[in-house]
Structure 1
Amino acid sequence: MIRSGSNYTKTLFQVILFFMMTSSVNAQLTFKQQQLTFPRVRAAYDDSWSSLQSQLKTAKFDGPFQLYLAAYKTEGVLEVWAKKLKDKEYRLFKTYKFCQHSGTLGPKVQEGDYQTPEGIYYINVFNPMSNFHLSLGVNYPNSVDKKRSGTKRPGGDIYIHGNCVTVGCIPLTDEKIKEVYVLAVEAQNSGQSRIPVHIFPFKMNKANLDKFAVQFPQQKTFWAGLQPAYQLFEQHKTVPQSSEKEGKYSFK
């Protein structure tokens, strides 16, 4: 019994030591190196990074860069904007079509409504083992969303992902998410801890806002409050500073 207990203690010590050593190694890895420990991320780099590097160089984005993602529900596109670290203004790098749509215009209100959110978000999850190949999660619900939902459960788990199915997310297909995921890893690895993701109902120029406000009058006030984010970026090509207070956005 004494020998058995001694063996158990020794084994337990070895297991604890192993995990401590593993954690220590992971802590020393860069974000990109951590991501490359996952097979799908390695495959995504093998399949797309060489081509992306060439495109980035041609567009003069070679070297460390930052990203801004803008999604437009009516147009069904995800725009990927980039800028070098030393630059102030973003420039459009690539545009990806949604593979599928869910819900209608207007923000997500509650769990199970199949709506794609509308609002100001950032990437807060890199999922290299997604059920939809690879996925980038956004921080829905934020305080504006929670205020809108009231006592209803606002839902969650909103991702830009692979495959071609959705109940409120933004699917791009497996091939396209490889590129977006790799670009996001590179930006995060360069120090961009919060990659902004703005999800708009449509290109929010005056003509579109006037047109869709007639069709969706209940969304007019919310859309009017969201529109400055679109306008300020279009004007300056910089991501406006945003704040959330009492269920509303403000920008400067």
Structure 2
Amino acid sequence: MTATFFHRLGAIVILLWLAVGLAACSNFVKGGDNRHNVPLAGSVVQGLRNMGSAPTEGMVVRIFKEEAVLEVWKKTGSGTYRLFKTYEICAYSGDIGPKFKEGDRQSPEGFYTITPGLMNPRSNYYLAFNTGFPNKFDRVHGRTGSDLMVHGDCSSRGCYAMTDAGIAEIYALARETFKGGNTSFQLQIFPFRMTTANMAKHSTSPHMDFWKDIKEGHDYFELTKTPPVWDVCEKQYIFNPAGSGALDAAGTCPPSVQNAALSAKLQADEADLASKSEAAQKAAERQAAEEAALKARGEAVNNFMSGIGSGIGGLFGGAAPATDATTTLPTPSAERP
């Protein structure tokens, strides 16, 4: 009976170990310290005060993969948000582009809502908060994944890894935001800074339609300095939908609240992107043609030199002319006295 008990106990331990190992960024409890309650540094509090904000005000977090940066924006007394601080991302998994399935080691992109329940004070990676992946958009597209975090330890398996000092400060900022009565903060994750130049550089990507979709939310924040209200309908993001109430992720989209400046920017950017993409395509075609011509010239030179080499080899390396065996060599003349 004792042996059976220990066999079962061993099996349970192995299963737990496997579960931790397979998770993208495990939230396994580490230690019993009070790191999640460490107060914000006085310099941080003063910095917030200097920009007309406070630790208890709302916040927005933005991530840009290609630039490997995380931004914290804080709400000010004017009601708009200002950039408070930019943190370097140590590592993220995969490449630019969204996450599709569990185990693809890809970090997510899109819009996420972070609530107190997603904060992880006992992360195995110092401190962490869960991105909330899969969100409504991800689920309607059948995307899967778990434990996709922003955490410390500078090591990533599908997450966004910060330094321990960086995540400690970000975590504390989020904690104080919740203490101020804010029920959530918005996390916006982009493949790169959403300029038309960057979009054109990646214009052949299969993710372009998705990036154009989330760019609207990005541009709204850039123009208004307030986070957009987002939802999902027709299997795509909708920003600032008219009316209230949750939408059917696969259902028909309602009208959205129009912003004239945003509409003008999106239209101008679309035209600029088309122009830049065409120019980039022509440049790529020219480069390909030049590389093909260079290769052809190289092959021609190689063939020419090979032909010369064969000719020279035939001239000096061939069989010597046969000598007539009956030929009599001249007798040397006698030496005069």
Relative to the length of structure 2, the TM-score reads 0.59
State whether residues 205 and 231 of structure 1, in contact with CA within 8 Å, keep that contact through their aligned partners in structure 2.
Answer: no
Aligned counterpart in structure 2 of residue 111 of structure 1, from 93, 102, 118: 102
Aligned counterpart in structure 2 of residue 74 of structure 1, from 66, 80, 86: 66
State whether residues 144 and 246 of structure 1, in contact with CA within 8 Å, keep that contact through their aligned partners in structure 2.
Answer: no
State whether residues 81 and 226 of structure 2, in contact with CA within 8 Å, keep that contact through their aligned partners in structure 1.
Answer: yes
Aligned counterpart in structure 2 of residue 205 of structure 1, from 178, 195, 206: 195
2:135 maps to a residue whose letter is N
Residue 83 (structure 1) aligned with residue 75 (structure 2)? yes
1:132 maps to a residue whose letter is Y
State whether residues 243 and 251 of structure 1, in contact with CA within 8 Å, keep that contact through their aligned partners in structure 2.
Answer: yes
- Cα RMSD over matched residues? 1.6
1:223-234 equivalence runs, <5 A: 223-234=211-222
Q: Deviation per CA, 1:153-187: give whole Å up to 9, x if none.
A: 61121111111100111111111111000000010
1:194 maps to a residue whose letter is S
- Residue segments in structure 1 that go unaligned for 5+ positions in a row: 1-36
Larger radius of gyration: 2
Q: CA separation in 1, counterparts of 2:111 and 2:61?
A: 11
State whether residues 56 and 178 of structure 2, in contact with CA within 8 Å, keep that contact through their aligned partners in structure 1.
Answer: no
| Structure with the bigger percentage of strand | 1
Q: Deviation per CA, 1:49-106: give whole Å up to 9, x if none.
A: 323112212222236311000000011000100013x432100000001011210111
What secondary structure sits across from 1:235 in the alignment? helix
Cα deviation for residue 107 of structure 1 reads 0.3
State whether residues 143 and 247 of structure 1, in contact with CA within 8 Å, keep that contact through their aligned partners in structure 2.
Answer: no
**Larger RCO (CA under 8 A, 6+ residues apart):** 1
Q: CA separation in 2, counterparts of 1:251 and 1:210?
A: 23
Q: CA separation in 2, counterparts of 1:69 and 1:109?
A: 22
Change (3 A) 1:141 1:63: closer
1:154-193 equivalence runs, <5 A: 154-193=144-183
Partner of 2:334: none
What secondary structure sits across from 1:133 in the alignment? coil
Count of matched residue pairs? 207
State whether residues 225 and 249 of structure 1, in contact with CA within 8 Å, keep that contact through their aligned partners in structure 2.
Answer: yes
Cα deviation for residue 191 of structure 1 reads 1.3
State whether residues 108 and 115 of structure 1, in contact with CA within 8 Å, keep that contact through their aligned partners in structure 2.
Answer: yes
Cα deviation for residue 241 of structure 1 reads 1.3
Aligned counterpart in structure 2 of residue 58 of structure 1, from 50, 58, 63: 50
Relative to the length of structure 1, the TM-score reads 0.78
Cα deviation for residue 213 of structure 1 reads 2.2
Q: Deviation per CA, 1:176-206: give whole Å up to 9, x if none.
A: 1110000000101111111100000111122
Q: Deviation per CA, 1:126-165: give whole Å up to 9, x if none.
A: 11110001111121101211222x3xx6112111111110
Q: Deviation per CA, 1:218-246: give whole Å up to 9, x if none.
A: 11111111110111111111111111123
Aligned counterpart in structure 2 of residue 140 of structure 1, from 120, 133, 152: 133
Q: CA separation in 2, counterparts of 1:142 and 1:74?
A: 22
Q: CA separation in 1, counterparts of 2:161 and 2:181?
A: 26
- Percent identity of paired positions between Structure 1 and Structure 2: 37
Q: CA separation in 2, counterparts of 1:61 and 1:180?
A: 16
Partner of 2:229: 241
